Amino acid sequence: MVEASDEATREHSHVQRVVYFLSAMRHYASDLRHRGYTVDYAELGTVSSLEAGIEHALAHLLPDELHATEAGDYRCEQMLEACASRAGIPLTWHANRLVLCSRGEFADHARGRKTLRMEYFYREMRKKHGVLMDGGKPVGGSWNYDSDNRSSFPKSGPPEPIPRPEHRSDRITSEVTKAVAEHLPDLPGRIDRFIWPVTPEEAQSDLNEFIEKRLPVFGRYQDAIWQNEQLLYHSRISPALNTGLLDPREVIAAAETAFREEKAPIASVEGFIRQILGWREYIRGIYWYSMPDYLEMNELGATEPLPGFFWTGDTEMNCVSDVVAGLNEYAYEHHIQRLMVTGLYAMLLGVAPRAIHAWYMAMFVDSVEWVTLPNVIGMSQYADGGIMASKPYAATGKYIQRMSNYCASCRFDPAKATGEDACPFTTLYWDFLDRHQEKLRTNMRMALQVKNLDRKSAIEINAIREAATIHRNKGNAS
Ligand SMILES: Cc1cc2nc3c(=O)[nH]c(=O)nc-3n(C[C@H](O)[C@H](O)[C@H](O)COP(=O)(O)OP(=O)(O)OC[C@H]3O[C@@H](n4cnc5c(N)ncnc54)[C@H](O)[C@@H]3O)c2cc1C
Ligand code: SF4
């Protein structure tokens, strides 16, 4: 096992992301040793990269063959293949037990299809794994309760108390935090609110707490946002799932049991299971089906640099400022904050897909390329031209106003596209439609939005273009 510093410095990494991975690794190594295994472990500061660590091990241990679990990332797979080839030994890949759909199964699903939509894949997975099924039919008579998953909070805010996560720092995590401060000073983000589970037992305890206290309300408010509330009723299990501290099968079974025992409604349980059995598996399928080309996709020809306030939160846009402040505190945003605040703003502004992808990789405790890349390049930026999403997730500030309480205390007005108090999201939305109208006109699902653009006069369009240019120049200067 190698604590490779270049994994944290290739792109700037949030300090919690680094501490999380290294602490989970050290706990795992300690557990293996207790179980009688010999672990060859390189601590931070001794080896610069995973490749160097493997080369070193190959040179010293002189194995006859190399065995590996299917790599998460394309880069890692290529690197291991190259190491084995240089050493002149065979490399055997083993199935990854942390996913339910193998690469081959996804390729079978994709073969012959014109489009790859998550919904059809998800239904196949439900049937294949017998999840939320009554005989051959979906439980409750419907495959999908998405329309019950979109409520915003009442004016008074989240209706049920949100249990506060505990700060976690045992001896190993404290040692890792010190080592990171010594070897990798100046990483972005705060470390004083470290809440992430670093052992399977801690992850299981968090899952139990979610199923009991938050799952019943999760579904209804899955898309809602609230100022100063980064975590809400979300499960926060993505880091544990991505590092293997939790098995997705057990998570799905725990949620289904809560439904069967009438402890959580179908809309919550189906909504939650859809994220894991549907979205997560589908995203992994898309990644391996489309790499390495996916990394370079830029359908909308976006070239803007990432504004500096994505790191600091120093912007007058209340929504972006609050989301980035929460991100610095927890290395986490929930899905709609990622998709409809930071992701939406970057797409409307026209940030280069590689630049916004690098930011998502850096700042999130759960980032690993196979899951971050399709979510960023495909779902949030539409840079894959519709492989994943049937249309760009483009919206004005009014979407954020509907789903949150941000706009009430913002100096901008989400209804306005021009003028001193115009909301930058709204300005950039119309500018986005205007800039890409030729392409968007060919997409039936964008017809209504483009039609609304056609209703604007030439004077209005010119004013929007001017406002967008002024905003773009200001944003890039900060
Ligand atoms: C721009 C963007 C970047 C993202 N980057 C990442 C990332 O780096 N790592 C990551 O794990 N997820 C990523 N996601 C997906 C999703 O936002 C996170 O999985 C989720 O917010 C994690 O919080 P949670 O565990 O509280 O999720 P919950 O809302 O409680 O959902 C439960 C679980 O479902 C899975 N899930 C939900 N949505 C997705 C999805 N779209 N893709 C894959 N799995 C999903 C996750 O494992 C998650 O833990 C990204 C989404 C967007 C729009
Ligand atoms: S008015 Fe615009 S910038 Fe301000 S919080 Fe609302 S959406 Fe965000």
178 pLDDT tier (thresholds 50, 70, 90): very high
Which homologous superfamily does the CATH classification assign to the domain defined by 309-477? DNA Cyclobutane Dipyrimidine Photolyase, subunit A, domain 3 (1.10.579.10)
Which pTM value belongs to this model? 0.96
Interior angle at CA 390, CA 294 and CA 471, nearest 5:
80
Secondary structure in 3-state letters for 110-160: HCCCCCCCHHHHHHHHHHHHCCCEECCEEHHHCCCCHHHCCCCCCCCCCCC
Cα angle 429, 433, 434; round to 5: 115
**What residues line ligand 1, using a CB cutoff of 6 Å?**
234-238, 241-242, 272, 275-276, 279-280, 283, 334-335, 338-339, 343, 360, 364, 366-367, 371-372, 375-376, 379-380
pLDDT digits over 403-412, tens only?
999 999 999 9
Q: Are 245 and 197 in contact (CB under 8 A)?
A: yes
**Structure confidence by residue, pLDDT tens digits, 384-431:** 999 999 999 999 999 999 999 999 999 999 999 999 999 999 999 999
> In the predicted model, what is the mean pLDDT of residues 213-232?
93
pLDDT given for residue 164 in this prediction: 83
Partners of 134 in the β-ladder: 137
The closest residue, in CA terms, to atom 37 on ligand 1 is 275
CATH class of 6-94: alpha beta
Domain with CATH 3.40.50.620 in the chain: 6-94
Burial category of 343 from C-beta neighbours within 10 Å (exposed 0-12, middle 13-18, buried 19 and up): buried
Give the ligand with the smallest distance to the CA of 412.
2
* Residue 186 pLDDT grade (very low, low, confident, very high; cuts 50, 70, 90): confident
**Predicted pLDDT at 477:** 41
Å from CA of 170 to ligand 2 middle: 40
Task: For residue 178, give the amino acid letter.
Answer: K
Ligand 2 pocket, mutate which of 309, 320, 425, 430 (most atoms under 8 A from CB): 425
Residue holding tokens 């005989």?
Answer: 135
Task: Give tens-digit pLDDT for 88-124.
Answer: 999 999 999 889 999 999 999 999 888 888 999 999 9
Q: Classify 161 as helix, strand or coil.
A: coil
- Predicted local distance difference test score (pLDDT) of residue 246: 97
Residues 202-210, mean pLDDT to the nearest whole number: 96
94's enclosing H/E stretch is strand 91-94
Q: What is the band of 9 on the pLDDT scale with cuts at 50, 70, 90?
A: confident
Please state, as a whole number, how many other Cβ atoms lie within 10 Å of the Cβ of residue 37. Answer: 9
pLDDT one-digit tens code per residue, 275-292: 999 999 999 999 999 999
Q: What is the pLDDT of residue 10?
A: 74
- Of the pLDDT bands very low, low, confident and very high (cuts 50, 70, 90), residue 78 is very high
Summarised one tens digit per residue, pLDDT across range 20-34 is 999 999 999 999 999
CB of 410 within 6 A of ligand 2: the answer is: yes
* Tokens of residue 112, six digits: 């012959």
- Partners of 138 in the β-ladder: 133
DSSP 302-356: --BPPPTHHHH--SS-HHHHHHHHHHHHHS---HHHIIIIIIHHHHHHTB-HHHH
Residue span(s) of the chain under CATH 1.25.40.80 come to: 103-163+199-290
Of the pLDDT bands very low, low, confident and very high (cuts 50, 70, 90), residue 63 is very high
- Locate CATH 1.10.579.10 in the chain: 309-477
In this structure, the chain runs to a length of: 478
Kindly tell me if the per-residue pLDDT of 478 is higher than 60: no
CATH architecture of 103-163+199-290: Alpha Horseshoe (1.25)
Whether pLDDT at 150 is above 90: no
The sign of the dihedral angle between the CA atoms of 262, 236, 73, 299 is positive
